[in-house]
Amino acid sequence: MTDRPKRHDDDVIVCRCEDVTLGEIRRLISEGYHTIDEIKRISRAGMGQCQGRTCRHLIARELARALGVPQEEVEMPMFRPPTRPVLLSTIARGEGDE
Amino acid sequence: MRQAETTRTVNLLKEVDVAVIGAGPAGLAAALACAEAGVSTLLIDANDAPGGQLVKQTHKFFGSERQHAGTRGIQIPSLFTEKLANYPNVEIMWNTNASGFYDSGELVLEDEKRFMKILPKRMIVAAGASERFLIFRNNDLPGVYGAGAVQTLMNVYGVVPGDRVMMIGSGNIGLIVSYQLIQAGVDVAAVVEAAPCIGGYLVHAAKLRRAGVPILTSHTVLAAHGQESVTGATIAEVDKEWQPMPGTEREVECDVICLAVGLMPLVDVLWHAGCEMKYVPELGGHVPVRDENMRTSNPKVYAAGDSGGVEEASSAMVTGEIAGISAAKSLGHQAPGADARLAQLKADLAAIRSGPTGEKISAGVRCATVCGGVWE
Amino acid sequence: MNRKSADIVVIGGGVVGCATAFELARLGCKNVVLVERNTIASGSTGRCGAGVRQQFGTELNCVLAREAVRIFEHMDEYLDYEPGVEFRQSGYLMLAYSDQQWEQFQRNVELERSLDIDVKMLTPEGAREIVPFLDLEGMVGATFCQTDGHANPFHTAFAYAQAAKRLGAEILTHTSVMDIEVENNKIQAVVTDKGRIATSAVVNCAGAYSAKIAKMAGIDLPVWGERHQILITEPVEAMMGPMVISFHHDFYCQQTPHGSFIMGIGMPGEPKSFNIRSSVDFLEGMANTVMKILPPLGNLRVVRQWAGLYDMSPDAQPILGECPPIEGFYNANGFSGHGFMVSPIVGQAMAELIILGKSSVDISKLDAGRFERGELVFEPAVVG
């Protein structure tokens, strides 16, 4: 693990669905994970219920700061369907009645 | 070994000329334009009533009469729905979520009980925006609200969020909501702004100052305090790099921390549709690259309102109508005088964006518009 | 990177490429370079169903899988990977829906037992003792192997990549291979968009894109991409141990250690393509199928769907080994949906073959020449 100076907000939660802290995101960046996708895959940040609706932007900002690039250069992962969680039974039932 | 049973596809596919996602100011205007052009139109919204953010806006609109200047935001949705009711070619579905858009051209809708497949010839995404969040310690304590939620509580349900509010963000929303809180008898401890100057209109800021509310620029919130809910917050001054300066921390007593740190375009369905997206900070985040008729890189898909870039309700109504007229026109339908109307709308949009905050928006729109203003 | 050289260039940063790079370095190869056009595990590895099973119908597949499981069992120590690869041996429950299939399963079990793989034969009721909410309609029997399981594909690939780096391998991400220089049937260099790497050996671990890589060396490789789709649900408390799999429905489903259910079905008539976009047909087919076999899962919510590519070969078996007439061109591809589960042993076998000239598990039957010789290896137990 790379030594990294501790920051005042390291223990603040970034991804609430999966309980990932800002410190963990910073540690992964310092270990060389430089894309949102990699950080998501290794930490689960953004894989939860809300699919990263809030945290992916916070992670993008953190990456931009750490890498010294403008945020537009941080590649955003795709948003995949569904836009909100859907019951398998709803999908199977379709428009039919119960 | 391929023995897959062909699973029964229960879900019918319903065809429609134009599907409009979102019944806020942009979606309502888009749907009305489609209705007037005579195309079959399906308008959907995740809420149980029209208006989107308009229902929170008790203030009167500035600007041109064509965009309902002088009318309170809260009154505008019914003006649209009354007109839409006259068109048999319009269907509206409330409490319905756009779940996904697929390469097959299928738009999937879902209302918790039903899963519906639509095959629209054109789709207008007017899904609005979501509130930005802020990272600070204990930001998940009850009592930390988004400004939109506070507006809904007060203006829709008539409930105040607490006794003493600390507002984070001095853009127009932060300033207006602070003033609405004071009018509702709530104490506003301070407005905290990380930038070195106030973001919103100075007229709004002046009203707050007269009411005795300090506006603390170059400040940020470090932590919320409290066991079960917010009882206070730590704020601190920030340096030019936006980093808190040690030794400047101080405690503020409050039972509500209200975040008004900006909006992000809601663009999920545009990602699904494979639209070319671009990060444009002036427009609030990732927005679709579009032409001047609001068509995206996917020729079947248009964006309108905040989904195309965060602005305000007047421009949302204009971009919505532009998208509606253009989508119908691309299907060979238009109402009498539509071309003149389109030209007028583009002129109106330019006028709205020439206002005080227009410079930033215009720069963003230039950045998000396809080279030359039209797709090849 | 300007001009550089390598003893061996591994093309592809999926789990197979990472494992191969690590094992090459472990056998003492000092100058291994792995080239990946995106990031580690960004292709099929990161999109796969994550299952690891030993229940197969050919001896070679059983042995490869058994050896892979033996490595998975100690992988965290073997690769000194602190986060862990999350290998869990919660078993595979394979369901048979016809007499013909049940007979095949029985033959498989006989073979598996002869190879020291402990597999139980179960009645439908016996299967329900393992998964109490299993619907038994139409089911003839089931087999169950407790030592089968699943692992985290991201962590497995990252673990191999980090371990390879520690042994001196160089990993170049965001680097695309543009060409492979060959002279007199000998590999000369790999040309990337970031520069040329002089080398005499290439391992083609490019998954569904392996034919494109082979073409650069003048080789026609019968490997193509085929889309397969998956979905994942919200996490819930642990309620299902094993991976449940049915060839009859072309279906698999498991609960991850995190609590989410991950599931897939094969879609009939999927064309050869590099398409990894999701479809709504899959969502509907999946929901109908899972509710037929595991009815209570209808109460779960889908949070995400995605697609990935199988790297298909004509007999749905991997293509492993050197690829004449080009000296120094090695294949490790064509896994047809089973790459992740065998990757640890494939990495070892490839490294042994390249460095020592012979692998401890005999993989000679899986060379690319088998298609010309007409010696295809058919596996009766595959999904999709």
Convert the pLDDT of each residue in B124-134 to its tens digit.
Answer: 999 999 988 88
* Range name among A77-81, B64-68, B336-340, B364-368 with the lowest pLDDT average: B64-68
Q: How far is residue A91's CA from residue A88's CA, in Å, rounded to a whole number? A: 5
pLDDT confidence of residue C160: 98
Residue to substitute from C280, C303, C336, interface B, most B β-carbons within 10 A: C280
CATH T-level fold of C3-47+154-223+315-373: FAD/NAD(P)-binding domain (3.50.50)
User: Per-residue pLDDT averaged across C364-372, rounded?
Assistant: 94
Query: Which tokens belong to B234?
Result: 């730590």
* Range name among B30-34, B37-41, B52-56, B85-89 with the lowest pLDDT average: B52-56
Strands B263-265 and B187-192: unpaired
**Which chain B residue is nearest to residue A71, measuring alpha carbons?**
B279
Taking 90 as the threshold, does the pLDDT of residue B8 lie above it?
no
Query: What is this structure's pTM?
Result: 0.91
Neighbouring residues of C45: CB distance < 8 A, sequence distance ≥ 6: C14, C15, C16, C153, C154, C156, C157, C339, C340
Supply the ipTM of this predicted assembly.
Answer: 0.90
Q: Which residues pair with C304 in a beta bridge?
A: C232
**Which chain B residue is nearest to residue C265, measuring alpha carbons?**
B4
pLDDT band of residue B9 (cuts 50, 70, 90) is very low
pLDDT, mean over chain C: 95
Distance from CA of B299 to the nearest CA of A (A): 20
pLDDT confidence of residue C300: 97
User: Per-residue pLDDT averaged across B218-239, rounded?
Assistant: 95
Q: Identify the burial level of B111 via C-beta atoms within 10 angstroms of its C-beta, where 0-12 means exposed, 13-18 middle and 19 or more buried.
A: middle
User: Per-residue pLDDT averaged across B34-53, rounded?
Assistant: 92
pLDDT confidence of residue C380: 75
- Show residues of chain A in contact with C261, CB under 8 Å: none
Q: How far is residue C335's CA from residue C229's CA, in Å, rounded to a whole number? A: 17
Convert the pLDDT of each residue in B111-160 to its tens digit.
Answer: 988 999 999 999 999 999 998 888 899 988 999 999 988 988 888 888 99
Taking 60 as the threshold, does the pLDDT of residue C148 lie above it?
yes
Domains and CATH numbers, chain B: 13-130+263-373 (3.50.50.60), 133-259 (3.50.50.60)
Strands C261-265 and C251-255: antiparallel
User: Per-residue pLDDT averaged across B233-241, rounded?
Assistant: 93
Distance from CA of C85 to the nearest CA of A (A): 10
pLDDT band of residue A10 (cuts 50, 70, 90) is confident
Positive or negative, the CA dihedral B274, B275, B278, B282 is negative
The set of chains that have 3 or more CB pairs under 8 A with B is A, C
Distance from CA of C354 to the nearest CA of B (A): 33
List B residues 232-261 in contact with A (Cβ-Cβ < 8 A): 244
pLDDT confidence of residue B335: 95
How many CB atoms neighbour CB B15 within 10 A? Answer: 10
pLDDT band of residue B4 (cuts 50, 70, 90) is very low
Convert the pLDDT of each residue in B88-97 to its tens digit.
Answer: 999 999 999 9
Convert the pLDDT of each residue in B307-324 to its tens digit.
Answer: 999 998 889 999 999 999
Residue C151's nearest CA partner among C52, C60, C228, C220 is C52
Q: Is A95 close to B114, i.e. CB distance below 8 A?
A: yes
User: Per-residue pLDDT averaged across C61-79, rounded?
Assistant: 97
A90 alpha carbon, distance to own chain's centre: 27
* Domain range list for chain C: 3-47+154-223+315-373, 88-147+225-310
DSSP label at residue C18: H
List A residues 11-40 in contact with C (Cβ-Cβ < 8 A): 35, 37-38
Provide the 3-class DSSP secondary structure of residue C371. helix
pLDDT confidence of residue A98: 45
* A86 contacts chain C (CB < 8 A): yes
**Yes or no: domain A13-93 corresponds to CATH 1.10.10:** yes
Q: Tell me how many degrees the CA angle A70-A29-A76 measures, rounded to the nearest 5.
A: 50
C-alpha distances out from residue B123 to B120, C218, C223, Å = 6, 46, 38
Amino acid at A70: P
Please indicate whether residue A8 or residue C251 has the higher confidence score (pLDDT).
C251
**Which chain B residue is nearest to residue C281, measuring alpha carbons?**
B9
Taking 90 as the threshold, does the pLDDT of residue C377 lie above it?
no
Taking 80 as the threshold, does the pLDDT of residue B69 lie above it?
no
Note whether C207 and C48 are within 8 A (CB).
Answer: no
Positive or negative, the CA dihedral C130, C135, C141, C145 is negative
Q: Which of A57, A79, A96 sits opposite B271 (nearest CB)?
A: A79
* C46 contacts chain B (CB < 8 A): no
* Range name among A4-18, B302-316, C182-196 with the lowest pLDDT average: A4-18
In CATH, what number does C88-147+225-310 get? 3.30.9.10
Listed in order, strand segments (DSSP E) in B50-96 are 90-93
User: Per-residue pLDDT averaged across B338-354, rounded?
Assistant: 94
Taking 60 as the threshold, does the pLDDT of residue C95 lie above it?
yes
Distance from CA of A78 to the nearest CA of C (A): 10
pLDDT confidence of residue B49: 86
* C305 contacts chain A (CB < 8 A): yes
pLDDT confidence of residue A97: 52
User: Per-residue pLDDT averaged across C353-375, rounded?
Assistant: 94
pLDDT confidence of residue B209: 94
DSSP label at residue B154: I
Convert the pLDDT of each residue in C322-351 to its tens digit.
Answer: 998 999 999 999 999 999 999 999 999 999
User: Per-residue pLDDT averaged across A26-32, rounded?
Assistant: 92
User: Per-residue pLDDT averaged across C203-215, rounded?
Assistant: 98
Query: Which tokens belong to C248?
Result: 């009859």
pLDDT band of residue B241 (cuts 50, 70, 90) is confident
Convert the pLDDT of each residue in C285-325 to its tens digit.
Answer: 999 999 999 999 999 999 999 999 999 999 999 999 999 89
- Show residues of chain A in contact with C280, CB under 8 Å: 81
Taking 70 as the threshold, does the pLDDT of residue C274 lie above it?
yes
Q: Which residues pair with B165 in a beta bridge?
A: B188, B256
Q: Which of B113, B135, B268 sits opposite A83 (nearest CB)?
A: B268
Element (H, E) at C308: strand C301-312
Taking 80 as the threshold, does the pLDDT of residue B325 lie above it?
yes
pLDDT, mean over chain A: 86
C-alpha distances out from residue B213 to B91, B173, B321, C72, C189, Å = 47, 16, 40, 63, 70
- The full DSSP string for C33-102 is EEE-SS-TT-SSGGGS--EE----SSHHHHHHHHHHHHHHHTHHHHTT-TT----B---EEEEE-SHHHH
Taking 60 as the threshold, does the pLDDT of residue C8 lie above it?
yes
Taking 60 as the threshold, does the pLDDT of residue B7 lie above it?
no
- Show residues of chain C in contact with A37, CB under 8 Å: 39, 42
Please indicate whether residue B376 or residue C257 has the higher confidence score (pLDDT).
C257
Rg (CA), chain C: 20
How many CB atoms neighbour CB B196 within 10 A? Answer: 9
